[in-house]
Structures are given as structure tokens and as C-alpha cells.
């Protein structure tokens, strides 16, 4: 009996030695001299520690991603938190650990490109800071990057995040992913019917460098506008006109010579409009759809005669009178509401300065600043010819 027990103990010891030798050799072949069973134990230990640390939060993900890493994500109110545990070492890492060697800079450049595509410059500049805290959310066909910025939190209540489809970064990832056959990048110009919207309009141009500067400011803030241009100024502003249109804005007529229509003969008004349309057509190959009568003066006869849609305004900044940036900014912020059409002029530097300051504030307040056509689309309105619109709340 004693000998039998001795044989059993010797057999168990030999089995343990064989198992240890197998594991040791297997581990050595993988470039790791540690026994492989310690890996899974360390991974499990780290995952359990993270789960315990975040037990008060809602667990939204606990997944082993292609045996590369364990991805854990938690939601705590508006705050998103993610953790990555290396499936080989059991150490906590970061998503960027799983980029192919040498592609880190290319990955960062792609994220930067998409940030400036989605957000206005004043936001993208902050989010593009490499030292800004961020969390990575791994989904089936996309990566979502969540940002935390104290400097923007006081301005913007919305969560700040960027969706990155794997099609855009597949060459940088060191693990296999699922790819969409079709996808759309997040663009800051995408219209959102759930958000407030106002139309910015500018009269009396084109005005050379001032108009071009204004167009740049609109572009940087993911905004569009409608420019009502004077026909006899269009003839000398072809390049400016093309720049306005190329950046997603639109152009309407502001008559040929900026004369009060109510004081003109009807045939002269018609002749001037036709001349303006021809100039515009020769420059762009397009047709003018809208007309803003100088001083907003128009009567029933003019509306019935001209084959156009009349656009005036319901928020007048009086920027021609108050050549003061702060006055214009405050007037806009105090008077605009959803559906308004705002009147300004792109011939005054103070107006351009005001637009540069007010656009980020309007964005932070939840407004989309758009062209008249875009405002009509957002409000589900068809702008009829021979009608006059003071806003997308009012029609005559």
C-alpha cells in the first residue's frame, strides 16, 4: 500500500515536470520565457480590478478584441470611460498601442483631418492638442474618440466626440476589423433639423478682399451665407463670386445699380434685373434665384412682374450705421431666434470682425448659421416666386 502511494506521487511529480517543460518550451518559442498560464491569470486579474474600480458606473462593453486586447467601457452620466488590457501581458495599455509600428503619425494626421471636417476651427484647434484627455470607444465598424476639454466645457454643453470609420484607418490598425461597404464622414456642414438655424445675409458686394475674408471666416466656422450682390459690381468681381460659391454659399440679386425700386419705372427694374442675371450667368453658368430689393422696398406690382423670389430680413444689425463690432455682436445675440434672416453688409471691416466673433458664440448656443436656401430646407419650406420672405417665420 505504501509502495503504491509512493508510485502515485512519483507519477504525479513526473506529470507536473512534463507539463511545466511543455509550457516552458511553448512559451520560449513565442519569445516569452514566462509560463503561458500566467498570462490569462494576469489578464483576468487586471480586468477584475478595473471592473471593481468602476463598479458604480454602467458597464457598456467587456470584449476580447481578436485576442489582442480586452476592451472595457463604462458610462457615468455624460462621461464615457474606456480601458484596454493587453491580452498577452495583462498590462493596461492605450488604444494607440495597437497601431502598426511607424503609423502613429499617419493615424494622428487622419484624426486631425476628420476633426477639422466635423468641427469649427475654434473647437478643432483645442481637440487636436495631443495632450488633451481622450477616450477610445471600439465599435464594430468604427472607432469613436471622446474628448474632455475644460476650456470648451464652459462654452459648449454638447458632448465632444469624433466618429472614425475603420475604412479611414484600416492601414494603421494592428488587428483585423469589419469594414462598411458604404459610409459617410462626419461633416460640420450637415444640416440638422433638430437644431436651431438662422440665415446670415450680406448686401452690397462683392467687395474684394473683405468678401474673401468673410468667406474664410464662414468656412472656418462651418457656416454658410447668402450674398445679395449689386449687378454693376459683379462685373468686376468674378473671382470673388467664384470663391463665394466654391465655399458652399449662395448669391442673389441686389438689383443692378442699388436704386430704390419703388422710385423706378417698372420697365427699368425689369431691364436692370435681366442685366444682373446675364452678368451672373456669364460668370457662373448658373441662374439667380433670389432678389433682395434695395432698402427692402418693393410693391405688389414689382412682385408680380419680376420672375424671382424676394428675400428681405427680420433682424437688422444696422451695421452701416453702427460701425462698431461689439454693437453688431451684441445685437445679433440679443435678437436672433430660430428661423430668422439677419441683414449685414460685406463692405465694412467692422462687420467682418463682428462675424468672426459672433459665429463661435452662436455655434456654442446651438445655432446653425446657414444660407437662405439651407434655412428653407431645414424648415421644410418651398420658397415661391413672386412671394416675399422676411424670415422663415413670415411670408407676404
Name the residues annotated as catalytic.
203, 345
The SS3 of residue 145 is strand
CA dist., res. 282 & res. 300, Å (int): 30
- Positions of E strands within 206-314: 226-229, 250-253, 290-291, 309-311
Instruction: Specify whether the backbone of 366 is left (phi greater than 0), alpha (psi in -120 to 50) or beta.
Output: left
CA dist., res. 219 & res. 247, Å (int): 7
CA dist., res. 234 & res. 263, Å (int): 23
CA dist., res. 242 & res. 226, Å (int): 13
Q: What share of the chain is helix, strand, coil (3-state, %, to 5)?
A: 45, 20, 35
Which residue pairs from 48-57 have beta carbons closer than 8 angstroms and sit at least 24 positions apart in sequence?
50/83, 50/85, 50/92, 54/81, 57/81
Amino acid at each position: 500500500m505504501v509502495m503504491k502511494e509512493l508510485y502515485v506521487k512519483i507519477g504525479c511529480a513526473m506529470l507536473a515536470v512534463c507539463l511545466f517543460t511543455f509550457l516552458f518550451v511553448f512559451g520560449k518559442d513565442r519569445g516569452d520565457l514566462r509560463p503561458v498560464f500566467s498570462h490569462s491569470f494576469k489578464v483576468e486579474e487586471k480586468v477584475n480590478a478595473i471592473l471593481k474600480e468602476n463598479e458604480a458606473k454602467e458597464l457598456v462593453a467587456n470584449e476580447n478584441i481578436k485576442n489582442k486586447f480586452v476592451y472595457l467601457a463604462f458610462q457615468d452620466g455624460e462621461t464615457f470611460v474606456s480601458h484596454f488590457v493587453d491580452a498577452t501581458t495583462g498590462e493596461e495599455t492605450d488604444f494607440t498601442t495597437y497601431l502598426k509600428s511607424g503609423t502613429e503619425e499617419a493615424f494622428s494626421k487622419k484624426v486631425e483631418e476628420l476633426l477639422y471636417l466635423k468641427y469649427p476651427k475654434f473647437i478643432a484647434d483645442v481637440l487636436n492638442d495631443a495632450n488633451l484627455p481622450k477616450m477610445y470607444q471600439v465599435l464594430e465598424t468604427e472607432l469613436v474618440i471622446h474628448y474632455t476639454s475644460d476650456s470648451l466645457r464652459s462654452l459648449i454643453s454638447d458632448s465632444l466626440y469624433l466618429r472614425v470609420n475603420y475604412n479611414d484607418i484600416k492601414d494603421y490598425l494592428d488587428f483585423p476589423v469589419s469594414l462598411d461597404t458604404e459610409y459617410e464622414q462626419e461633416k460640420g456642414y450637415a444640416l440638422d433639423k433638430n437644431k436651431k438655424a438662422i440665415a446670415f445675409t450680406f448686401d452690397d458686394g462683392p467687395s474684394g478682399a473683405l468678401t474673401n475674408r468673410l468667406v474664410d471666416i464662414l468656412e472656418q466656422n462651418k457656416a454658410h451665407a447668402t450674398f445679395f450682390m449689386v449687378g454693376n459690381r459683379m462685373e468686376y468681381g468674378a473671382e470673388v463670386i467664384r470663391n463665394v460659391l466654391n465655399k458652399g454659399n449662395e448669391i442673389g440679386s441686389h438689383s443692378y445699380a442699388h436704386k430704390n425700386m419703388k422710385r423706378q419705372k417698372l420697365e427699368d427694374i425689369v431691364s436692370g434685373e435681366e442685366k444682373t442675371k446675364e452678368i451672373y450667368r456669364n460668370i457662373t453658368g448658373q441662374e439667380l434665384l433670389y432678389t433682395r430689393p434695395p432698402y427692402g422696398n418693393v410693391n405688389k406690382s414689382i412682385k408680380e412682374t419680376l420672375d424671382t423670389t424676394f428675400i428681405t430680413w427680420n433682424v437688422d444689425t444696422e451695421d452701416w450705421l453702427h460701425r462698431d463690432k461689439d454693437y453688431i455682436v451684441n445685437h445679433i445675440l440679443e435678437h436672433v431666434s430660430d428661423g430668422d434672416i439677419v441683414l449685414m453688409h460685406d463692405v465694412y471691416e467692422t462687420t467682418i470682425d463682428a462675424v468672426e466673433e459672433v459665429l463661435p458664440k452662436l455655434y456654442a448656443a446651438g445655432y446653425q448659421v446657414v444660407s437662405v436656401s439651407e434655412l428653407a430646407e431645414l424648415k421644410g419650406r418651398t420658397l415661391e416666386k413672386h412671394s416675399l420672405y422676411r424670415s422663415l417665420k413670415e411670408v407676404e
